[in-house]
């Protein structure tokens, strides 16, 4: 099997099970530059939808992958940035539908949901997972640092109007950060905001991977659970530990191909190697540390690795 440009995984997703990812946009292309982003600061900040790649190229890769018997639960369109910036999204969803009956999810920051064309394009996806971290213009600028063409009321009104029309599932996620948006005042605002939206699930998350800004700190598990209770949401477990998959035979290359898309912490690497019957975990971790292309970030008491 070839190494793919657009398809990755399947990887474990805490919300979706085993997810086959499709990334239709170039790395770090987004209309936000969230302070908690695990990809670092956005270097291609844009609010213009573009046909970054031909739909047919992505679909050809998917066709190739579907010839294998590798199991997965869901196809997830999720960029290393914001996937709704991909102008071919409607056609991509349409073509994926023809190839598989697996559920199709789209992970988005929700910023462009005010766009009627995008609303139509997303209509045939099964699950839309928008993020909602801000409750007003000030918090929007502070947390999400949006492109200048975006303002909070346009974005929240867009999510609201989409939520009323859309027939599939909407799973909202709020990313909570200690001292930034986890105080009682913020929670009252979130509660009021959520009342205006129609959605099926609410996930409460906190950064478990190294964030773009060093002052971003996760919220303690106990507090997360308290907040989840107050808002009527589900707390996302703090660690992913298994389920990564790669067809690449060389173990080191296999890890590089995963961390190119999805940072892994030391426990995830250990679990991945052990599942392949290997015990040379320290050797591989040392090699990663010495590799100039790999960034090692110490966060929350353990190391995470990502390929730059």
Q: Which of residues 19, 84, 109, 304 is near ligand SF4 by CB under 6 A? A: 109
Binding of ligand SF4 by 84 (CB under 6 A): no
Question: Which of 52, 61, 54, 71 lies closest to 11, judged by CA?
Answer: 71
What are the structure tokens assigned to 201, written together?
A: 């699930």
167 Rama sector, left if φ>0, alpha if ψ -120 to 50, beta otherwise: alpha
Of 32 and 305, the one with the shorter C-beta distance to ligand SF4 is: 32
For residue 76, CA distances in Å to 12, 26, 79, 196, 279 come to 11, 16, 9, 27, 32
Binding of ligand SF4 by 34 (CB under 6 A): yes
> What's the burial of 190, exposed, middle or buried (CB within 10 Å: 0-12/13-18/19+)?
buried
Binding of ligand SF4 by 33 (CB under 6 A): yes
Stretch that binds ligand SF4, among 30-38, 228-236, 265-273, 280-288 (CB under 6 A): 30-38
Binding of ligand SF4 by 132 (CB under 6 A): no
For the bound state, the minimum distance from the C-beta of residue 151 to ligand SF4, rounded and expressed in Å, comes to 16
Binding of ligand SF4 by 39 (CB under 6 A): yes
For the bound state, the minimum distance from the C-beta of residue 283 to ligand SF4, rounded and expressed in Å, comes to 33
Helix ranges (H only) for the chain are 55-66, 89-99, 116-122, 137-139, 152-165, 184-195, 221-231, 251-259, 266-275, 281-290
Of 212 and 294, the one with the shorter C-beta distance to ligand SF4 is: 212
Q: Which of residues 16, 82, 132, 134 is near ligand SF4 by CB under 6 A? A: 82
Residues that bind ligand SF4 (CB under 6 A): 30, 32-34, 37, 39, 42, 81-82, 109
């Amino acid at each position: 099997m070839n190494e793919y440009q657009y398809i990755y995984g399947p990887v474990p997703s805490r919300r979706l099970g085993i997810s086959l990812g499709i990334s239709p946009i170039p790395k770090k292309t987004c209309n936000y530059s969230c302070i908690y982003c695990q990809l670092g600061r956005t270097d291609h900040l844009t609010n213009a939808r573009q046909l970054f790649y031909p739909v047919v190229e992505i679909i050809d890769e998917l066709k190739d992958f579907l010839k294998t018997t590798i199991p997965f639960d869901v196809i997830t369109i999720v960029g290393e940035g914001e996937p709704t910036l991909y102008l071919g999204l409607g056609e991509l969803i349409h073509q994926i539908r023809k190839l598989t009956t697996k559920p199709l999810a789209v992970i988005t920051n929700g910023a462009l949901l005010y766009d009627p064309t995008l609303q139509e394009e997303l209509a045939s996806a099964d699950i839309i997972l928008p993020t909602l971290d801000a409750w007003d213009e000030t918090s929007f600028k502070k947390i999400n640092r949006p492109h200048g063409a975006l303002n909070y009321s346009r974005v929240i009104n867009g999510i609201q109007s989409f939520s009323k029309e859309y027939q599939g599932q909407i799973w909202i996620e709020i990313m909570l950060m200690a001292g930034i948006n986890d105080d009682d005042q913020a929670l009252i605002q979130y509660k009021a905001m959520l009342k205006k939206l129609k959605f099926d699930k609410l996930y409460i998350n906190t950064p478990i991977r190294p964030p773009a800004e060093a002052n971003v700190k996760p919220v303690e598990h106990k507090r997360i659970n308290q907040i989840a209770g107050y808002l009527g949401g589900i707390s996302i477990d703090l660690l992913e530990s298994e389920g990564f998959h790669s067809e690449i035979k060389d173990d080191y290359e296999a890890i590089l191909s995963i961390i190119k898309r999805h940072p892994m912490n030391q426990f995830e690497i250990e679990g991945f190697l052990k599942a392949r019957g290997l015990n040379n975990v320290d050797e591989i971790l040392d090699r990663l540390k010495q590799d100039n292309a790999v960034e090692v970030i110490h966060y929350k008491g353990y190391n995470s690795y990502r390929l730059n």
